[in-house]
A = this chain, B = another copy of it.
């Protein structure tokens, strides 16, 4: 994973970055701020139950709608809404139609949490 340049930072336009890829469930890194990455991801359908031992994860809906299933409830997010899944909390993101999500999470975060499986993806910079 390449290091992001810090001294010649450019502004990031979310829609322009989203136009650069179409693969679903494969987050792209668009920024780093302190120990966190800012990522964009396109999602549709069900992901899998997982949790992150030490990392909180923020989901902000850029377009579309996202449901985050928790074991005891569901969070329904529309454009302009975010939810923070605390570390240790099992969750499953679900979207009936494609939704575009901005993620904020530590650089160490693996998309499938504590599992390493066929949905595990190493994020790349765009």
Contacts and interface: CB of A to CB of B under 8 A. Distances in A.
A77 to B, nearest CB: 6
A123 to B, nearest CB: 17
State how many copies of this chain the complex holds: 2
Given A7-B86, A12-B83, A31-B58, 11 more contacts: A6-B56, A11-B75, A11-B76, A11-B83, A12-B82, A14-B81, A14-B82, A15-B80, A33-B105, A36-B104, A62-B80
A83 B33 contact: no
Contacts of A35: 34-35
A104 B42 CA distance: 22
Chain A interface main SS type:
strand
A38 interface: yes
